[in-house]
Amino acid sequence: MATFLFGEIVFGPVKSRRLGVSLGINLLPGDRKWCSFNCIYCECGWTSEEEYYEERFPPRRMVREKLREKLLMMSRNGEKPDSITFAGNGEPTLHPSFAGIIADTVMLRDRLAPDARIAVLSNATTLDNPSVFNALKMADQNILKIDSAREETVKLLNQPAEDFSLGQLVKNIMRFDGAFILQTLFVRGIYKGIEVDNASEVELRDWLRLVERLSPQMVMVYTIARDTPARGLRKVPADELYRIAERVGKLGIEVQVST
């Protein structure tokens, strides 16, 4: 199925289901997806098997200048972003200058768009890096992904690196003491002859226990909205997403649903 990549460093603003009027920042190459996950539902397609080369990442100086130009242009046009969102063609925290770029973004936001939130969408696999961990603490919306509380399901849906440990990822996220937003994408279908359904009752019971343990500021519940690289995947219906959200709400945690 058709997927797409972000060709620019700074793109948008776009109307985001979860983040409002969002100005996006892509810290990955514009011609391929680089990520520590290879999610079967990712709108950017499959992760490139090419090794990471530092020179392929946009330089910190260029990111800062492109963002400054875009914010100045929006200001002249009377536009205001609700958020400045690090997403793009893979895992943004893989950028070798990620921490410095976040610091630059905070500075530019404070000067040129003081009402905008800085959001980072991350799969939390790089939290062992102290500079990444500390940089994410600077974000207004530190949005971390866990699609299942079961390691075998994570490996099916997200296809992480071989040394991945869900238990270690959870331990690292707990270091934020709840100062983060949890995002979970629910999906059904068949992948390589294996049934995919992280919205089943068995999956949900384990996931809700994990949500309660992590106690995030908010949970973002959503499903696929665009084409996926793997065929045979289906959206989870809106009524089910709202029922999941209701169960999260009973834990005393704010929840947002995107259908």
The model carries a pTM of 0.93
Indicate if the pLDDT at residue 10 is higher than 70.
yes
Give the pLDDT mean for 237-259.
96
Question: 73 CB contacts (<8 Å, ≥6 apart)?
Answer: none
> pLDDT value at position 233?
96
Pick the more confident residue, 3 or 116. 116
Question: Are the CB atoms for 148 and 198 separated by under 8 Å?
Answer: yes
Across the chain, how many H-helices and E-strands are there? 7, 10
pLDDT-derived band at 259 (thresholds 50, 70, 90) equals: confident
Eight-class DSSP state of 116:
P
Q: Does 87 map to a domain?
A: yes
Phi-psi label, residue 145: left if phi above 0, alpha if psi -120 to 50, beta otherwise: beta
Q: Does 79 map to a domain?
A: yes
187 is in which domain, residue-wise? Answer: 10-258
Average pLDDT in the chain: 93
Least-confidence region, from 50-54, 179-183, 205-209, 235-239: 50-54
Indicate if the pLDDT at residue 168 is higher than 70.
yes
Give the pLDDT mean for 113-117.
95
> pLDDT value at position 53?
67
Give the pLDDT mean for 70-95.
93
Q: Does 45 map to a domain?
A: yes
> pLDDT value at position 194?
95
Indicate if the pLDDT at residue 165 is higher than 60.
yes
Please tell me the distance from the alpha carbon of residue 36 to that of residue 160, in angstroms, as a whole number.
6
Q: Does 139 map to a domain?
A: yes
| CATH number of the structural domain spanning residue 113 | 3.20.20.70
Query: Which amino acid, residue 244?
Result: I
Q: Does 1 map to a domain?
A: no
Q: Does 229 map to a domain?
A: yes
Please tell me the distance from the alpha carbon of residue 151 to that of residue 147, in angstroms, as a whole number.
10
Q: Which helix (H) or strand (E) holds 202?
A: helix 201-214
Please tell me the distance from the alpha carbon of residue 94 to that of residue 90, in angstroms, as a whole number.
9
Strand partners, 222: 185, 258
Question: Are the CB atoms for 92 and 139 separated by under 8 Å?
Answer: no
Question: Are the CB atoms for 93 and 25 separated by under 8 Å?
Answer: no
Domain count of the chain? 1
Q: How many residues does the chain have?
A: 259
Q: Does 216 map to a domain?
A: yes
